[in-house]
Amino acid sequence: MFRLKRCIIWVLGRFICVNHVAVIMDGNRRYAKSKAIKVSGGHAQGFYKLLQMVEICSLFGVSALTVYAFSLLNFRRSKEEICDLINLSIDVLSQNGQLRDFCKDVNCRIRFCGDFSFVGDDIKKMLKDVELKTSQYTGMTLNICLSYGARNEIANALKGKSENFCENLSTSPFGPPEILIRTSGVTRLSDFLIYQASLHLDLFLHG
């Protein structure tokens, strides 16, 4: 990012007080179709856009960015696309050095949220490893929702350890998001942070 652009964003961030931003990462398949490339290429481009969002949110002083990366409903997609998504995740997570350097640069730690009973042990190990190796960073937190569904989260929260329902939600350390962005023209929540969005949502951007 150009130095002047970074400075402008940093200055604006001193006057804009937003604690928690949520993003539904949508439109990767449509992007791939419009560019006549494989769907996996669209998902890869979406990942690089995510890194840009992390950097911008960090400069704005946002405490938490929660992204909807892979829904439980996505398991209904074609086996080829699911394999492409899993392979992309493995490629990204296996490059721990690069990911760790990026997190160090923006002072960002990573948390994964979701029902991981649906993913393999190798993926679970990688997720825990990334969380551990970025846990030292004290700036922004990137919550990546994988194998996630809001209705599933609510059901599990009702059976959670705390008597306070909200404390059993994946977003409990940060509270509900003030801003929710969907990167397409669709306006539905698609089983993402349904309960949290009903509590406090100042702005829903889509486009």
pLDDT value for 27: 58
Whole-angstrom distance, CA of residue 105 vs CA of residue 41: 26
Token pair 């769907």 is found at: 39
pLDDT value for 63: 94
Per-residue confidence in pLDDT tens, the chain, 207 aa: 556 556 556 655 655 778 999 988 875 556 556 656 665 565 566 677 788 889 888 888 899 999 998 888 777 777 676 666 666 666 666 555 677 788 999 999 999 999 888 788 888 888 898 899 899 999 999 999 988 999 999 999 999 889 999 999 999 999 999 888 887 667 778 899 999 988 876 666 655
Residues 165/140, Cβ–Cβ less than 8 Å: no
Which helix (H) or strand (E) segment holds residue 111: the answer is: strand 108-113
DSSP 143-178: EEEEEE-HHHHHHHHHTSSSSSGGGGSTTTTT-S-S
Half-sphere exposure of 203 (CA within 13 A, CB side): 11
First-to-last CA distance in the chain?
23
pLDDT value for 74: 76
pLDDT value for 105: 92
pLDDT value for 101: 85
pTM: predicted TM-score of the whole model, two decimal places: 0.82
pLDDT value for 174: 92
Token pair 């993003």 is found at: 23
pLDDT value for 93: 61
Backbone angles phi, psi at 45, to 5 degrees: -65, -40
pLDDT value for 134: 93
The amino acid at residue 47 is F
List the alpha helices (DSSP H) in the chain.
3-13, 28-34, 39-59, 79-94, 96-106, 121-134, 150-158, 194-199
Picking from 129, 46, 110, 115, the residue whose alpha carbon sits closest to that of residue 84 is 46
Picking from 162, 170, 51, the residue whose alpha carbon sits closest to that of residue 113 is 170
CATH level 3 topology of 18-206: Undecaprenyl pyrophosphate synthetase (3.40.1180)
| Burial (0-12, 13-18, 19+ Cβ within 10 Å), 161 | exposed
pLDDT value for 119: 80
